[in-house]
Structure 1
């Protein structure tokens, strides 16, 4: 028999996944994953991401789609880029059926086109480089991550350095909010976990000779970027670049990346990552180890606002076409070595009988196929009706949410208005009370000042008035107080000198008040001093008389004795 060859699948790291990791189960997203999504700016909008609760099978809320943490950190955001949307439609696949490395392939390709080729992502160039393969075991295809984007074997492309295995990525699923963009109602088709992966002719679509000529210049530029000595560009450099500039390649953007304007660019989702976080993220999505250096910049300067496209630079716009009709089963290909089989009569008869049998079978299958087609048409009509009903229900729900939101906002505004009015009233009352208190203080100070002036008949003038009634009154009061203290000090000094004359046998009091009380008794201090002085004079006179009498008597006695 002639030798036969079969079309073999490309062995990719995703095809080595364990069987128990292939079914839907409860999502297991760690706090580290949540913090990483926040640092990347993917949760800047409050409703951008919702995390599943306890469900073990995805049940996304209205206007949400199923995705994975490992898809988002590789450049995916909503609303999705038109190029990614076209790939999903033309290949007939859903977002959850692509592996993380396949998502990174698309991100790198879009960054390559916009930043280093100076053109929008090109569908013809994509077909020249990539094809699709199923991801699964020999007997079945995985549903989650069942499709792998591969580089064609005959194409020299960048070495992206994918990791051998993205551990546990199927368990880190979540819901992303689908925003409308470019008047497209749904950028991502609704999630259908039961949809089978069916191979299409578009998976292996090849370019025509005319298309090959049209993209020859782009392929030459790619080879130049890869092989220019000292300026080689790698897949890791491209990956590090879009992570560093904080723009998600798979998100629909206002401006292409060749107009990137740095920190003020409208497409940036967050501030620059720290060097540590950036290196950790690059090692997570690549096969680089801790010993491998992380590129700090590209060896080729990418196009941007500071490095604009040359004048008359050609840009080829080519997006994936609409999805093809009819699915094609992946089957073995038998090679023909152009050898003729020997011609025997018995073999010819067997071939004839076999042909008749096969003809009958084909006729039977055709009838069954017609019945199936009728049933399929009926189901398609019902599906269309249910889709219209679903759209109407979604529209009603959106309107209801909008009305509820408007009512809530109106109630909130009214409450804020009332609280503001109450705060203004309270402030006015406080200001009035403060003014009244200041006026009362000023009145008391002025009263004290007038009393002092009435008692001392002295007036003062400020050398540098403040033109503030309260401060000026306080200043006058301070002057009056200084004058009063000075007078008290002089009075105390005078009373202290007089004290020993009036109270010779008493100790002088320590305080001025006690000292003043000594000079304010009920009796007349002057009269009492005169009495005391007269008493002293009388006593002195008596003593002198007595003393003189003693002397005279003594003399008489002395005379008698003689």
Structure 2
């Protein structure tokens, strides 16, 4: 039973952490304005115009836009998109390009690649992945560097984002259009092996690789190559102005950021490899750069169209995508390569001339309809962009219409609620009903009229309360100035203590002190100890004394300078 292909169902909402954002910022990947666009709440990638889908774990392993022509060629030959490749596969390609440019001094070589790598499907017996559904593996028969890749990269499929598609002077540098539901089809190119001629021509490069591996005291590993391109701050999978053998250090134009701190570099290397904390990171082997120029024999053999021999033709064994298609078509039709391509005098095959799948190779072998086909492709590309823009405009118009409809519904609901509130406004909290003299028969206007009516009533009540409190103020606060605002006046009558009780206590105190003074003035002999001992006072005798003194109350008050009140107090005295 065939494994089920997840397809579009494998995508889910992107979950990028702050730690991921900080790492991209340190690496300089998000340094350029709008270089990176992060998805919002969508669960399936819908890249904006001019953007392509990528992953955080791809970017930290050397991927950037515009992509390197060699990577574009691999995607073309293998029939893949970027999201089909696992993070470990991306790292394999980054290491290979760095190895060729910095350690071998040549452009990435398609023939050399076939000698080392092949593609295989990623999945299980029951599930075939779409995201990361293809793995680039090292051939078991090849003695290659120990890269120390992790067995798995946890959660990388959930960390997708959009990177801005850029053009590096050639439309072929562009990333293939995104199609998240496209099924992965196995191609014959996945298992393509180097021909005998390619093996012979790349033998010198393989020998050099073995020397780099086994030179005592200078052994090179995949970790060292990884550490080198991370230190340089140059993304191997990006289309660059100069190859690594022209790297100019801190002033290099292809650098994305300044040097990483030692701790950040160490942490990043361990993040993308299987190194443990106890494992040390080996130092980098000497490389070709602007400070260590290529030997003259390599410089002379570097690919340059002006230096190519006349009528130079790359090998017919799949040096370029067009030749690859020709060979496959010939094999499928049952004809030989000699029958499919007219014989012509071939130059000696050279590994430094048979370089990556690039437009340079294709231009050296023009076909009769290449110009017309190129124009047609450009026209199709332009029409596709126009349609995409129209679709985007239509989508914006649809969203605006939906937004206007929502606002209209909200306004209608608000008007309905306002109309329902008019009846409540017509009734006062006291359940007293009010009627407008000239209603407008409009819910909103009538509601405003009722609000004005209630506002007038509230103002009149405030004025009345102000007048009443102003009259009471001097009675309770004879020594204070009346506040200018109603709020200040009202706060005076809302203290924590009882103002009436406080005033009565003060009056009682004045009365007692006045009585004591009056008695003292009479020069009578009084035992003040007994007077102060309230527990010894007999209530009946006290009441009879008060009753006897009542006849002379007015005289006593007049003597004390107190005007008697016309209305006796009904409050009980507090002793």
Q: Normalised by the size of structure 2, how large is the TM-score?
A: 0.54
Deviations 1:75-102 (A, max 9, x none): 0000000000000001000000000000
Task: Tell me which residue corresponds to 2:545.
Answer: none
Q: Against the structure 1 CA distance between its residues 48 and 325, is the aligned structure 2 distance closer, same or farther, given a 3 Å change threshold?
A: farther
Contact kept? 2:111, 2:198, Cα under 8 Å: yes
Gaps of 5+ in 1: 1-14, 329-382, 399-562
Larger radius of gyration: 1
Is 1:173 matched up with 2:160?
yes
Within 5 Å, give how 1:450-461 maps onto structure 2: none
Deviation readout 1:229-272 (Å, 9 max, x if unpaired): 11100000000000001000000000110011110011111000
| Aligned-residue offset at 1:384 | 12
Q: CA deviation at 1:320?
A: 4.5
| Residue 385 of structure 2 corresponds to residue 391 of structure 1 | yes
2:96 to 86, 101, 109: 109
User: Mapping of 1:89-488 within 5 angstroms?
Assistant: 89-184=76-171, 187-295=174-282, 297-298=283-284, 300-313=285-298, 315=301, 317=303, 320-322=320-322, 324=325, 389-393=383-387
- SS of the residue aligned with 1:267? coil
Show structure 2 runs of 5+ residues with no match. 304-313, 330-376, 393-575
Relative distance call for 1:190 and 1:29 in structure 2 (3 A) is: same
Q: Tell me the distance in 1 between the aligned counterparts of 2:320 and 2:280.
A: 37
**Contact 2:7/2:130 (CA < 8 Å) preserved in 1?**
no
The change in CA–CA distance for 1:187 and 1:385 in structure 2 (over 3 A counts) is: closer
- How far does residue 308 in structure 1 lie from its aligned partner after superposition? 0.7
- TM-aligned CA distance change 1:127 to 1:53, over 3 Å: same
Residue 37 (structure 2) aligned to one of 37, 44, 50: 50
User: What is the CA–CA distance in structure 2 between the aligned matches of 1:171 and 1:184, rounded to whole Å?
Assistant: 30
Change (3 A) 1:126 1:49: same
Larger RCO, structures 1/2 (Cα 8 Å, 6+ apart): 1
**Distance between the aligned counterparts of 1:80 and 1:273, measured in 2?**
23
Query: Residue 67 of structure 1: SS of its match in structure 2?
Result: strand
Give runs of aligned pairs for residues 532-551 of structure 1, distance below 5 A. none
1: CA distance, partners of 2:107 / 2:172 = 23
- Give the C-alpha shift of residue 104 in structure 1: 0.1
Q: Residues 185 and 86 from structure 1, CA distance in 2 versus in 1: closer, same or farther, beyond 3 angstroms?
A: closer
TM-score (norm 1): 0.55
Q: Deviations over 1:41-88 (max 9, x none)?
A: 001111100011000011111111111000000000000000000000
Contact 1:22 1:170 in 2 (8 A): no
Partner of 2:370: none
In 1, distance between residues paired with 2:286 and 2:66? Answer: 28
Secondary structure at 1:115 match in 2: helix
Residue 312 of structure 1: SS of its match in structure 2?
A: helix
Q: Deviation of residue 387 (structure 1)?
A: 6.1
Shift of residue 395 of structure 1?
7.5
Paired residue for 1:81?
68
- TM-superposition CA deviations, 1:190-244 (whole Å, max 9, x none): 1001111011111111111111111010000000000111110000000000000
Quick check: 2:7–2:183 contact (8 Å CA) kept in 1?
no
